[in-house]
Amino acid sequence: MATDKLELNVAGMTCVNCSNAIEKVTAKMDGVEEAKVSFASSKAEFIIDPTKVKIEDIKQKIKKLGYSVVEDLKALEVQKKKDLKKLKFLFTVAASCSIAILYLIFFPLQEGRLNLYLMMFFGTIAQFYPGGLFYSHAIKAIANKNYDMNVLVALGTSAAYFYSAFTVLFPFLFPEHLRYVYFDGASIIITFILLGKVLEENSKAKATDFLKNLIDLAPKTATIITSNGEEKTIKADTLQIGDIVIIKAGERVSADGTILEGSSDVDTSMITGEPLPQFKTVEDEVVAGTINTNGFLKVKVAKASNDTLLSHIITLLGEAQNQKMPIGRIADRISNIFVPTVISISILTFFIWFFAANNTLDAVLASISVLIISCPCALGLATPIAIVSAVGKGAKNGILIKSPEVLEIIKDIKYAIFDKTGTITEGRISMGNLVLQDNSMDILNILASAELQSEHPISKAITNYAKEKQLSLDKEVKQLIVIPGKGIKCIIDDKEVVIGTLSFLTSEQVEKNEKYIKFIVQEQNFGNGAVLAAIDKKMVGAFSFKDGIKKGAKDMVQELKDKNIIPVLLTGDNEKTAKAVALKLGIEKVYAEVLPNEKYEVIKSFQKDDKVMFIGDGINDSPSLKQADIGLALGSGSDIAKDAGDIIIMNNELSSVIKSINLSIYTIRTVKQNLFWAFIYNALGIPIAAGALFPFFGIMLTPVYAGIAMSFSSVTVVLNSLRLKLKRL
């Protein structure tokens, strides 16, 4: 049986249960072998038998559920922005109505009936305009036998609202001591749950930004050499294997290929994450999207545009984004049991009172009391208020939480995997050690004057060091020649100055000096880069360069170990450097010289054992940031890395990694406490509201006391959540 893979962009989903509903309904269609819908990315993937089901049929089924199918990523982004704008507006309306009702409660008008009518007016707007969102989703949920939070909100707020509305419109139907209104409770619960949805949708609306930015890195045009030897500019995505393209200084490489002519330092940081350009010459391979910093390259295309390393990175990002994380919706799980139970108890209560007491009013009031006390104010506030407090606490500590859902996962991670350059280390090349003939500052001034003419990171490190020593760097430089990947040579004060690799100095017939050669070998063994310097064919000095380890990195690694979290170093840098850094930090697991797609695979291998947190900052880290259960991006990192991460550490302090874990622990603990209090109030109050104590003690929980219990549970939950702001991370 032949099957096809179908991918659709679905707009309009506001919660995980929306994606669940689409999965359940479409999976039942004849010809749909598998359905997977991601709420986070708004993407749906289907494995279908095209002989049994048409693509249009699947689209129509999704549309009947109340969602829309958009054609491409751009259209999806537009729709997400519209959905977020609408959600923010609904929240504003609900919040305004809640404030108005609370004002009328605390500062009532002298005309009591007018005061009640105004409260009902604002309560009606909140209940059926912003609250209409919960009604529509509750109907869909019930239709799919999924009793989620939307059902609970619709049920509870409806009980409070309609009891209040009948009390206002038909007060003669109720005894005087039962004429109470609960418009405030219904309105406030809608407001706070919408606030939680705004936070969630805000991160969801930006979920595809990182893909868009990464796609922008791909070259749009390419200059090819035609069969008659002429240069012609074409679209990069039309390049064919075997085409010859020209890459000038400052341009991005058009396609994956092999250099036929020329040499240059190529900035490969988007792939390797390392700050030093790599020297590329004839027969070396280059990758699309990397930058030719100098020189001229003629490249033979080896891969089509849809098969380049950059395109594979984009594909990996998409795949990682579409994978579902095992995020538990505690309140929804409770409500799936709680909602049917409450409805059953309410109906049962009505019939027991109706037949036992033969009193329709008491039966109705008892039934409504059950529904009011089960109103999910506290249950609905349990998670949103805790999350609002946690997000605020995190922001205050330089931790930007893009999706509150990640707080459920961080506390459970077993592996903390780190990129090296720019994450564990400073990401800046600086002077390490140096040895000069006779420790002469005059020699350093000559060498730094020569390096001042180059933009290479090593040159900048030498000149910055010389400036710190307050040297003038005023030597006149003549006949400067820069040999990419090797070094520079020039004439200063009628002397030949050569700075670069050992092989470069040897080719320039410089006399060897074991003192300096031993120095660079030793430094390279420590994981540092090193170059030699010569004047008039004699070695006069050697420099080593380092990328310093960030302050607090070692303490952070130890704290992770104390929490039974295993630290891992994962880098594209060479093995010696990686192991040297790991040794200083106390990291035992090291993976070096890995490309982005290999990093991605390493992350997946660790995930087979347990949950993984990845911490990175570069474009090359973006697939790993998305694939990991939790991705932490540094604020100083690339925009693409920050878009791909779940959390952005804005202050770039590694101590924030530990703070993020602590914040997760405190937040989930608070949510569970909130859920316990919310549930215990209902568990104790519902039987009393149903009249369980009446036969023994004559106690009947009327709607007013049900409302008080409901409000008290909400206050408890809010105060408990606000304690998060006082926690020390």
Question: Do 222 and 245 form a contact (C-beta atoms < 8 A)?
Answer: yes
**Residue type at 269?**
S
Domain residues for the domain of 435 are 430-546
The tens digit of pLDDT for each residue in 563-618 reads 999 999 998 776 777 888 888 899 999 998 787 778 888 998 999 999 999 998 87
Say which DSSP state 130 is in.
T
65 and 29 inside one domain? yes
Given this model, what pLDDT does residue 275 score? 61
Q: Residue 447 falls within a domain, yes or no?
A: yes
Helix (H) or strand (E) holding 399: strand 399-401
Cα distance between residue 71 and residue 10, in whole Å? 9
407 and 458 inside one domain? no
The tens digit of pLDDT for each residue in 353-408 reads 878 776 666 776 677 677 666 655 566 566 767 777 777 788 777 777 776 677 77
597 and 559 inside one domain? yes
Six-digit token string for 503: 């092989």
CB atoms within 10 A of CB 108: 14
Q: Residue 141 falls within a domain, yes or no?
A: no
Name the residue with higher pLDDT: 709 or 171: 171
Torsion angles phi and psi, residue 110, rounded to 5: -65, -35
| Residue that terminates a domain, selected from 603, 621, 652 | 652
What is the CATH classification number for the domain harbouring 484? Answer: 3.40.1110.10
Q: Residue 338 falls within a domain, yes or no?
A: no
Q: What is the DSSP string of 443-462?
A: HHHHHHHHHTT--SHHHHHH
Helix (H, G, I), strand (E, B) or coil at 652: coil
417 and 566 inside one domain? yes
Helix (H, G, I), strand (E, B) or coil at 497: strand
Sheet with 477-483, edge to edge strand ranges: 430-436, 538-546, 529-535, 495-500, 487-492, 477-483
480 and 577 inside one domain? no
What is the CATH classification number for the domain harbouring 414? Answer: 3.40.50.1000
Question: Do 403 and 196 form a contact (C-beta atoms < 8 A)?
Answer: no
The tens digit of pLDDT for each residue in 303-321 reads 888 777 777 666 655 554 4
Number of domains in the chain: 4
Active site residue 419: yes
566 and 522 inside one domain? no
Torsion angles phi and psi, residue 719, rounded to 5: -65, -40
Q: Residue 483 falls within a domain, yes or no?
A: yes
The tens digit of pLDDT for each residue in 669-709 reads 888 888 787 777 777 777 877 777 777 776 766 555 655 56
Torsion angles phi and psi, residue 143, rounded to 5: -60, -30
Handedness of CA 47, 48, 50, 51 (dihedral sign): positive
Q: Residue 285 falls within a domain, yes or no?
A: yes
Closest CA to 335 of 157, 148, 206: 148
Mean pLDDT of all residues in 120-149? 84
Handedness of CA 112, 118, 121, 126 (dihedral sign): negative
Q: What is the DSSP string of 189-223?
A: HHHHHHHHHHHHHHHHHTTTHHHHHHHHHS-SEEE
| Residue that terminates a domain, selected from 243, 276, 307 | 307
Q: Residue 680 falls within a domain, yes or no?
A: no
Handedness of CA 309, 313, 319, 320 (dihedral sign): positive
449 and 513 inside one domain? yes
Mean pLDDT of all residues in 253-269? 86
Given this model, what pLDDT does residue 99 score? 94
Cα distance between residue 644 and residue 633, in whole Å? 8
Mean pLDDT of all residues in 464-488? 88
Given this model, what pLDDT does residue 97 score? 95
> Is residue 223 predicted with pLDDT exceeding 60?
yes
Cα distance between residue 703 and residue 167, in whole Å? 11
Can you state the angle between helices 209-217 and 309-322, rounded to 10 degrees? 170
Given this model, what pLDDT does residue 320 score? 46
Closest CA to 685 of 352, 375, 356, 347: 375
Q: State the average pLDDT for the chain.
A: 81
| Residue that terminates a domain, selected from 307, 333, 350 | 307
Given this model, what pLDDT does residue 495 score? 93
Cα distance between residue 48 and residue 34, in whole Å? 7
444 and 528 inside one domain? yes
The tens digit of pLDDT for each residue in 179-209 reads 778 888 788 878 877 876 776 566 455 445 5
Of 148, 267, 332, 419, which residue is the catalytic one? 419
Between strands 612-616 and 415-418, the pairing is parallel
Percent of the chain at pLDDT > 70 equals 83
Strand extents, DSSP E, 551-606: 566-570, 589-591
Six-digit token string for 708: 């008080």
506 and 595 inside one domain? no
Say which DSSP state 550 is in.
P
Six-digit token string for 6: 């179908």
CB atoms within 10 A of CB 511: 11
Mean pLDDT of all residues in 335-349? 76
417 and 560 inside one domain? yes
Q: Residue 29 falls within a domain, yes or no?
A: yes
State pTM to two decimals.
0.58
Q: In the structure, what pLDDT confidence band is assigned to residue 325 with cuts at 50, 70 and 90?
A: very low
569 and 641 inside one domain? yes
What is the CATH classification number for the domain harbouring 287? Answer: 2.70.150.10
Q: Residue 339 falls within a domain, yes or no?
A: no
> Is residue 152 predicted with pLDDT exceeding 60?
yes
441 and 540 inside one domain? yes
Largest CA distance in the chain: 116
